[in-house]
Amino acid sequence: MLIGRNNQQNDQLTFRTATPYDLWFHTQEIPGSHVLLRLEAGAVPNAADLQWTADLAAYHSRARHSYQVPVIYTKPKHVYKPKGAKPGMVVYKHETVLWGQPQTVDKARSFGRSEEA
């Protein structure tokens, strides 16, 4: 899992680091980090990995203090930068919505679970 911490890192992750096998996560219509779930060719993520990545995307957003946050994911090939857009600004299509719960990241951190699990 990789998490962008600023607009430049978000662009780097999304447009240079992401492979065709990865999944790209972001909070829906809420500013936040771009998160990549790294996958190998032919790998299918399990529900727990998808949920944990959605929780991380929610945690690394402006909605960090919300109970539930809509998080979208899609393949990186479906994420585009509009012409003239600032770093970190993207549009996407073919997305799936999950509900991220940022408080689970706080709980996991207090029990010593790494964010890059």
pLDDT in tens, 13-25: 999 999 999 999 9
pLDDT at 110: 74
Tell whether the model's pLDDT for residue 115 goes beyond 80. Answer: no
Instruction: Name the band, by pLDDT with cuts 50, 70 and 90, for residue 111.
Output: confident
Task: Extract the tokens encoding 8.
Answer: 């430049």
Task: Extract the tokens encoding 99.
Answer: 């509900």
In one-letter notation, the amino acid at residue 75 is K
Asked if residue 63 lies in contact with residue 27, where contact means CB atoms within 8 angstroms, the answer is: yes
Going from N- to C-terminal start, the domains of the chain cover 2-110
Instruction: Report how far residue 46's alpha carbon sits from residue 11's, in angstroms, rounded to the nearest whole number.
Output: 26
Task: Extract the tokens encoding 42.
Answer: 């032919």
Asked if residue 34 lies in contact with residue 91, where contact means CB atoms within 8 angstroms, the answer is: no
Q: What is the pLDDT of residues 35-61, one digit of tens each?
A: 999 999 999 999 999 999 999 999 999
Q: What is the pLDDT of residues 69-82, one digit of tens each?
A: 999 999 999 999 99
In one-letter notation, the amino acid at residue 6 is N
Q: Decide: pTM greater than 0.85.
A: yes
Q: Which residue has the tokens 């073919």?
A: 94
